[in-house]
């Protein structure tokens, strides 16, 4: 594992070079589920082209094998090839879905450590963010996938992603432009590494060598299509497993479709609601907790540099990347 600071410095240098060129090549990999429509891929390529970037698809990026994009070995090889290729400036995942975790045993992380470059994705890609950080110390970006670029990315999300590629990785993370309210669940200020991703996917790292490491970290998480009961269970497990014992702070992003609704699909409706779950599990940890930052499966996505140092000021409702 390379040193965190050296990996971060190298990544910043790469982003500065990318910005200076005002162009570059985005490598597209499919480590999880396949695309449902190749036209979405074409639209994503057109979007990157319109902003001055070229796109290179990994060899197996368009493969389909049940609900994954080809065999685990092929998907792992695609990822390593993109990192090793000097003509690829940044790597974006095609989509999330399912399957990222099964390629991890087939990855040579020395290839990634020796060729650090921006790696972007979210949702099921959480497993790869955790593994890459564990084995290399490299900062990665929790941000939009290629298919989300064309299906749901707002102007806010678009500008944040492009700014990150132009080297604007530090500073205050902007609030949701449609609703600037954030909820301070517990006051205070703390600094630490940003560690996290999609909560349900993070729970599947438990017990693996690349399990999320929250020691002296700011835990950032979001989720989609869950329930208050499932989120309650996940947070309780993290507490009982003592993963919060040396935690510095918590930032909760979008929890899309995770509260009770009258349309059905969730067990035990109208019992404990999501806000009560977060209050009960997080408010008394003794660390600052902020709820409502725009990242995850919502309309607006402020791409986050996972592994980077940040300061959380819950009193002011502010998250500042160092």
User: Is the distance from CB of 147 to CB of 18 less than 8 angstroms?
Assistant: no
Q: How far is CA 10 from CA 166, 217, 270, in A?
A: 14, 22, 50
Please, what's the b/e burial string for 83-99 (b: 16 or more CB within 10 A of its CB; e: otherwise)? bebeebbbbbbbbbbeb
User: Is the distance from CB of 228 to CB of 272 less than 8 angstroms?
Assistant: yes
Instruction: Name the nearest CA neighbour of 59 among 72, 36, 75.
Output: 75
Sheet holding 119-121, edge to edge: 53-57, 24-29, 90-93, 119-121, 140-142, 304-306
The single residue of 14, 297, 300, 309 carrying the catalytic annotation is 297
The two structure tokens encoding residue 105: 């045993």
66 classed as catalytic: no
User: Is the distance from CB of 223 to CB of 253 less than 8 angstroms?
Assistant: no
The single residue of 123, 157, 226, 234 carrying the catalytic annotation is 123
123 classed as catalytic: yes
First to last CA, the chain: 22
The two structure tokens encoding residue 5: 């600071």
Please, what's the b/e burial string for 218-229 (b: 16 or more CB within 10 A of its CB; e: otherwise)? bbbbbbbebbbb
State the Cα–Cα distance between residues 155 and 268, nearest whole angstrom. 37
The single residue of 130, 222, 266, 309 carrying the catalytic annotation is 222
The two structure tokens encoding residue 202: 């993070």
Instruction: Name the nearest CA neighbour of 90 among 153, 20, 41, 29.
Output: 29
Please, what's the b/e burial string for 254-265 (b: 16 or more CB within 10 A of its CB; e: otherwise)? bbeebebeeeee
* Separation of CA 76 from chain center: 19
The two structure tokens encoding residue 184: 């301070």
158 classed as catalytic: no
Catalytically active residues are 123, 222, 297
């Amino acid at each position: 594992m390379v040193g965190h600071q050296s990996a971060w410095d190298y990544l910043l240098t790469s982003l500065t070079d990318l910005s200076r060129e005002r162009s570059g090549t985005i490598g597209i990999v499919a480590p999880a589920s396949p695309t449902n429509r190749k036209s979405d891929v074409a639209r994503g390529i057109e979007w990157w082209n319109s902003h001055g970037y070229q796109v290179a698809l990994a060899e197996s990026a368009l493969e389909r094998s049940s609900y994954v994009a080809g065999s685990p070995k092929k998907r792992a090889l695609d990822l390593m090839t993109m990192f090793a290729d000097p003509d690829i400036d940044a790597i974006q995942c095609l989509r999330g879905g399912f399957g990222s975790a099964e390629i991890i045993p087939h990855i040579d992380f020395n290839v990634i450590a020796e060729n650090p470059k921006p790696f972007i994705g979210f949702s099921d890609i959480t497993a790869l963010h955790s593994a890459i950080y564990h084995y290399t110390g490299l900062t990665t970006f929790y941000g939009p996938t290629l298919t989300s670029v064309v299906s749901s990315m707002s102007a806010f999300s678009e500008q944040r992603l492009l700014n990150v590629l132009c080297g604007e990785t530090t500073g205050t993370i902007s609030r949701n432009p449609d609703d600037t309210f954030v909820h301070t669940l517990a006051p205070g200020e703390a600094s630490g590494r940003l560690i996290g991703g999609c909560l349900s996917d993070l729970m599947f790292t438990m017990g693996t060598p690349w399990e999320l490491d929250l020691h002296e970290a700011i835990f950032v998480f979001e989720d989609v299509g869950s329930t208050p009961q499932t989120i309650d269970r996940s947070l309780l497990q993290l507490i009982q497993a003592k993963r919060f014992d040396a935690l510095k702070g918590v930032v909760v992003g979008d929890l899309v479709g995770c509260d009770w609704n009258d349309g059905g699909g969730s067990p035990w409706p109208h019992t404990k609601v999501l806000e009560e779950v977060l209050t009960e599990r997080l408010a008394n940890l003794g660390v600052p907790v902020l709820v409502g930052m725009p990242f995850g499966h919502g309309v607006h996505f402020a791409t986050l540099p996972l592994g980077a140092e940040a300061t959380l000021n819950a009193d002011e409702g502010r998250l500042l990347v160092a």
